[in-house]
Amino acid sequence: MQCLRLISFLDSEKMMRYLDLYHIQFLYQKAGFLLKHFQDELKLPDSFFNFCYNNIVKSKRYLTDKDEKNLVYNTKWRLFVPKNLMAFMEQGGDEPV
């Protein structure tokens, strides 16, 4: 998360091409969820997040180990994420998803 804060721009077209090359649902979920919190800083358009969202199906995934305690479910991205990750993002001034 700290490293993502240091990036000032991501080329959304390249990101979408790379995601399509791998074509793995979990990558679309992780990219959409994590990068959404840095959308303004990275200058990512809404179309990038729509692209990620449209490439996930109904299966639920875990961002970290399934056995980790204090997981919260993000309904939009269908991901279980650590509750402390959300707190970390909120401390940086980002709104939770």
Question: In the structure encoding, which two tokens stand for residue 76, read together?
Answer: 């939009």
Cα separation values, 9 from 12, 17, 37, Å: 9, 16, 13
- Mean pLDDT value across residues 75-96: 73
In this prediction, residue 90 has a pLDDT band, given cuts at 50, 70 and 90, of low
The residue among 12, 10, 94 whose CA lies nearest residue 47 is 12
Percent of the chain with pLDDT over 90: 61
Average pLDDT for 20-40: 95
Report the chain's mean pLDDT, rounded to a whole number. 87
Q: What is the mean pLDDT of residues 44-51?
A: 98
Q: Is the pLDDT of residue 67 over 50?
A: yes
Distance of alpha carbon 59 from alpha carbon 28, whole angstroms? 12
Euclidean distance between CA atoms 96 and 73, whole angstroms: 12
pLDDT at position 87: 64
Average pLDDT over residues 43-71: 91
d(CA 19, CA 24): 7
Q: Are 33 and 79 in contact (CB under 8 A)?
A: yes
* Predicted confidence (pLDDT) at residue 96 exceeds the cutoff of 90: no
